[in-house]
Amino acid sequence: MAQIVFNEEWMVESRLTERTGLSEGQIKNYRLQLWVEGVHFKHLTAKGQTDSTKGLLWYNLPKINQLVQDI
């Protein structure tokens, strides 16, 4: 059986704010203007669907950090 290690790759907005200091408005602006859905963020419903805008937003901190580094 594979060992699962929780490394906080994907996190919800409140944790992203805690880790980065970004406000809710800043996160929304980045999501709408710069970040790529499926790479930097994704919607995920309780049924596991990722193609719905009604799901909870999850953010990929390593990918966001890489984007900041690359710009």
pTM: 0.82
In a structure prediction context, what are the per-residue pLDDT tens digits for the chain, which is 71 residues long? 566 556 779 999 999 999 999 999 999 999 999 999 999 999 988 887 777 777 889 999 999 999 999 98
Q: What is the pLDDT of residue 47?
A: 82
Q: Show the domain range for 65.
A: 10-70
Identify whether 21 is part of a domain.
yes
Identify whether 2 is part of a domain.
no
Q: What is the pLDDT of residue 4?
A: 56
Q: What is the CATH number of the domain that holds 48?
A: 1.10.1660.60
Domain count, the chain: 1
Q: What is the pLDDT of residue 6?
A: 60
Identify whether 62 is part of a domain.
yes
Strand order of the β-sheet with 41-44 is 10-12, 56-60, 41-44
Identify whether 4 is part of a domain.
no
Q: What backbone torsions phi and psi does residue 43 show, to the nearest 5 degrees?
A: -90, 135
Q: What is the pLDDT of residue 53?
A: 73
Identify whether 3 is part of a domain.
no
Identify whether 19 is part of a domain.
yes
Identify whether 63 is part of a domain.
yes
